Amino acid sequence: MLERQNNTPMQGIPQGSSISLKHFIQVLFKRKNIILTFFITVVLLVSITTFQLPPIYNSSGKLIVEREIDPEKAMLFRINFQQNMQNPDFINSEIEIIKSYVIASRVVDTMGLHLVDSPKEKLTAAEIKYKRDRAIRSFHSDLSVENITKSNIIEISYESKYPELAAKVVQAVIDIYTRYRSEISNESEAFRFFEEQMRIADQKINDLEERQANFKQQKGVISPEAQQSMLMGRMADYDQSLTVVRSKRIGKEAKLTTIKEQLARGGEIIIPGTETSDSPSRVEYINKLKSHLLDMEIQREKLLQKFTPQYEEIVYLTEQIASTKEKISTEIGQIVQLEETAIKALLAEERGLQNSIAEIENDIQELAQKEYEYSKLSRGINDNREIYSMLLKQREDARISLAKLEKGVKITVVSPPTIPFEPSKPKKALNIMLAIILGLFGGLGLAFMMDYFDHTVDTPEELERYAGIPVLGSIREIKSLSNHRNGKGKLKTKFH
């Protein structure tokens, strides 16, 4: 047999090539004993361990935990009842109470969990304390408290080797939690609480009334509604006037822009009719000049058809046409000057109106601020008077029943704990299935790992593949001729 050197790739071996199906099957048959041994060992170990583990039973119960809020208190302290009921922090707080050390210690003492495994032994006080502490820690690990998603339902589960004990412990947790919840929400001192709150509310009312009187005197606030109505009316008038002036200015600017564009092109000048001119007589005069100019140009064209340009009447008409065009240009220039002056006047008027509106807006803002402060003081006085009245009624109720206790929550058992008949652990079928998967893949991995570190060449094909040279022949070595004749021998091939 040939042996490859470790970590030395032989000539002709393709680096990074994937394992072929033939090679995969060869490895399976070559290492079948290792795969089967590993597979059977894993399955047997897991199976034996699973069947030897003691059964663990799980019992659970479900509670609905709801807040109990007095409607009068909800109104007094501005509590949103629906939002408070759906607050996830509330359920989380109740879960933490159930998992608290107080409840754990009381359940351990009530059920005697620290003495379950040694009920008849005589123990010293130190041993009892040690066993109790250990039982409390074990209780926390065996207890499970979870919130059913998007609900007020809490599920309490407990695991134990004894099914009856598991159900009893869950019931004990529910009972002790219900009693402990009442203890931490004790309102026996409600009367003193309401007395103190009434004193605070009365002091606030006096302070707010004094601040309101000083505010009215300093700010001169008499009737904010009437003052605001007057200012809003003035601002509406100014705003309407500003709209009219602005529209007029925009129209004149458009007209002036059109005239200037015509002057720049040097063509015929047409006065836009979108805006009524401030000088209608000039517009009429320009229109008459244009009509007269048109007549003269037509007459001149007729004469040019009969006479030369030097003809006396044609020369006269030419001079009159030039004079008329100059008059039209002069009149249009004066119209442009008048329009520019009017636009400047409108801009000044517009700025004045804007300043007036800005002053009124400042006055309105100042008045709104004063009105807000005044209304806030008035609202604070009314709210505190309402709170004072409700506190007075609550104090009288507390006087009647000083010892009144309210849990603050309503606890309802929707699914009481029952004695489980089937153990929850160990899950034999699942463990065996996992053992089969682990044994199969682990055996395959071990086989291919051994094949990876095996540097021998067993077949002519492997020699040709790794050495890159053709094999001329092979000699098969028979380790035992007699065994081979009996069908029990093993053939080994040597290559030269």
Q: What domains can be seen in the chain, in order of their start residue?
A: 2-53+426-495 (no CATH), 57-186+405-415 (3.30.70.1130), 224-400 (1.10.287)
Q: Strand, coil or helix: what is 301?
A: helix
Between CA 317 and CA 299 the distance in angstroms is 8
Point out which residues pair with 59 in neighbouring strands: 158
Between CA 212 and CA 375 the distance in angstroms is 9
Residue in the structure block whose two tokens are 């790739």:
9
What dihedral do alpha carbons 120, 123, 128, 130 form, nearest 10°? -120
Contact yes or no for 430/33 (Cβ under 8 A): no
Q: Strand, coil or helix: what is 144?
A: strand
pLDDT digit string (tens) for the chain, length 496 residues: 444 444 444 433 444 444 578 778 877 888 888 888 888 998 899 888 888 878 888 899 999 888 755 554 445 444 454 444 455 677 888 889 898 999 999 999 888 887 776 665 677 888 888 888 888 998 888 899 998 877 888 999 999 888 898 899 999 999 999 888 877 655 445 666 777 888 888 888 888 777 777 776 666 665 667 777 777 888 888 888 888 888 888 887 887 787 777 677 665 556 655 444 555 676 777 778 878 888 888 888 888 888 888 888 888 888 888 888 888 778 777 877 888 888 888 888 888 888 888 888 887 777 777 776 777 777 778 877 888 888 787 777 666 554 444 445 778 888 899 888 888 877 778 888 998 999 888 888 888 888 778 767 667 776 676 677 777 776 665 555 455 445 444 444 444 4
Q: How many helices (H) and strands (E) does the chain have?
A: 15, 8
Query: In the numeric block, which tokens belong to residue 36?
Result: 């089967």
What dihedral do alpha carbons 309, 311, 313, 319 form, nearest 10°? 40
What confidence score (pLDDT) does residue 17 get?
43
Q: Strand, coil or helix: what is 427?
A: coil
Alpha-helical regions (H) of 186-311: 190-219, 224-265, 280-304
Pairing outcome for strands 491-495 and 153-160? unpaired
Between CA 31 and CA 444 the distance in angstroms is 9
Between CA 238 and CA 357 the distance in angstroms is 6
What confidence score (pLDDT) does residue 119 get?
60
Q: Strand, coil or helix: what is 305?
A: coil
Say what the pTM is: 0.43
What confidence score (pLDDT) does residue 408 get?
58
What count of other Cβ atoms lies within 10 Å of the Cβ of residue 393? 12
Contact yes or no for 198/388 (Cβ under 8 A): yes
* Of the candidates 25, 33, 13, the residue with the CA atom closest to the CA atom of residue 446: 33
Q: At what angle do helices 125-142 and 101-111 cross, to 10 degrees?
A: 120
